């Protein structure tokens, strides 16, 4: 059940000039609502006159020991720029948790691949942690423009093997995630992905070609989070639906992506 809560900033880590990691908890010590990998929150950005609507941010991680919610924020406009300036003890109003979540396989056999690109790596961390908790050792394939844009690698290695690509070749293999050699060396039973739409479509076609079950987390503009503004409509096999209420996680069988 979604709630509107004021959370307090416990830490704001500036990862580089473009990304920050916000850590938030409850002000009164109450437990955070249950949140699952793939879900997102809507952040009300105060003191930003140009930001009229809430900003959708993926759940990056839940630190249950510290009762913290992590949000990986990419600074691309006035709203996210203001978020990057939050200080410890600031109060932030959030609507959470929103959307559906990734499905977790019942059996622990087989290899699972998690593919993330850019800020789309955010939900892969929490998903990887939950998969490891269930007995899996996930494989992460993370892509970025350069080594400066590869985020949280020290966290990802806690939960599985990590492979990377960069467009300039400064870390891992040069090129895009869909061209990484791991895709030819290993056989996977499940793939999850989040990132730029062209990347996810390429991963979806790879999965379809190799008969691998695949789920994607769409990053459509979700201004309201509960299906009113209609900014996030996606044309699917079931017709035009709101990503914020019917997603953001979809099985590729429900999308018109396969070429």
Q: What is the pLDDT of residues 33-52, one digit of tens each?
A: 999 999 999 999 987 777 77
Looking at 2.40.160.40, 3.40.1280.10, 2.10.240.10, 2.60.120.890, the CATH number of the domain 218-258 comes to 2.10.240.10
Q: What is the mean pLDDT of residues 237-244?
A: 93
214 is in an annotated binding site: no
Q: Domain extents for the chain?
A: 3-98, 102-216, 218-258
Which among 75, 80, 69 has a CA at the least distance from the CA of 5?
69
Is 211 within any annotated ligand binding site?
Answer: no
State the pLDDT at residue 229. Answer: 84
Hey, CA dihedral for 104, 158, 181, 60, is it positive or negative?
positive
Q: How confident is the model at residue 228 (pLDDT cuts 50, 70, 90)?
A: confident
Q: Does the pLDDT of residue 170 top 90, yes or no?
A: yes
Residue 85 assigned to a binding site? no
Summary count for the chain: helices (H), strands (E): 6, 16
Q: CATH number of the domain at 102-216, please?
A: 3.40.50.80
Distances (CA, A) of 57 to 70, 87, 123: 10, 18, 10
Q: Is the pLDDT of residue 259 over 80?
A: no
* Nearest partner of 120 among 139, 89, 143, judged by Cα: 143
Name residue 58's beta-bridge partners.
40
> What's the mean pLDDT when you consider all of the chain?
94
The reply to whether 224 sits in an annotated binding site is: yes
Is 73 annotated in a binding site? The answer is yes
Q: Is 56 annotated as a binding residue?
A: yes
Q: Determine whether the annotation assigns residue 119 to a binding site.
A: no
Put residue 11 in one of left, alpha, beta given phi > 0 → left and psi -120 to 50 → alpha: beta
Q: pLDDT per residue over 97-124, tens digit each?
A: 999 999 998 877 789 999 999 999 999 9
| 153 burial level (CB within 10 Å; 0-12, 13-18, 19+) | middle
From 9, 40, 87, select the one nearest 243 (Cα to Cα). Answer: 40
Class of domain 3-98: mainly beta
Q: 231: annotated binding-site residue? A: no
Q: Does 244 belong to an annotated binding site? A: yes
pLDDT at position 140, please? 98
* 179-226 per-position pLDDT tens digit: 999 999 999 999 999 999 999 999 999 999 999 999 999 988 887 887
Q: Which residues contact 4 (CB under 8 A, 6 or more apart)?
A: 93, 94, 95
pLDDT in the model for residue 19: 96
249 is in an annotated binding site: no
Q: 57: annotated binding-site residue?
A: yes
């Amino acid at each position: 059940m979604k709630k509107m809560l004021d959370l307090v900033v416990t830490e704001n880590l500036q990862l580089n000039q473009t990304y920050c990691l916000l850590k938030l908890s409850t002000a009164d010590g109450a437990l955070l609502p249950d949140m699952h990998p793939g879900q997102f929150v809507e952040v009300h950005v105060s003191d930003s006159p140009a930001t009229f609507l809430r900003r959708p941010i993926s759940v990056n991680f839940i630190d249950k020991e510290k009762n913290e919610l992590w949000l990986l924020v990419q600074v691309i406009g006035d709203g996210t720029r203001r978020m990057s300036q939050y200080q410890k003890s600031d109060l932030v109003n959030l609507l959470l948790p929103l959307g559906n979540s990734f499905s977790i396989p019942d059996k622990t056999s087989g290899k699972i691949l998690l593919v993330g690109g850019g800020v789309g790596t955010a939900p892969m961390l929490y998903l990887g942690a939950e998969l490891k908790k269930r007995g899996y050792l996930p494989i992460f394939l993370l892509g970025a423009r350069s080594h400066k844009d590869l985020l949280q690698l020290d966290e990802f290695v806690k939960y599985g093997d990590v492979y990377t690509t960069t467009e300039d070749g400064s870390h891992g293999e040069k090129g895009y995630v869909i061209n990484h050699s791991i895709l030819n060396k290993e056989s996977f039973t499940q793939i999850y992905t989040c990132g730029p739409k062209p990347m996810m479509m390429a991963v979806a076609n790879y999965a379809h070609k190799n008969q691998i079950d695949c789920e994607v987390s769409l990053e459509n503009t979700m201004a309201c989070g509960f299906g009113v503004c209609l900014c996030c409509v996606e044309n699917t096999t079931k017709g035009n639906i709101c990503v914020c209420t019917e997603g953001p996680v979809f099985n590729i069988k429900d999308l018109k992506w396969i070429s």
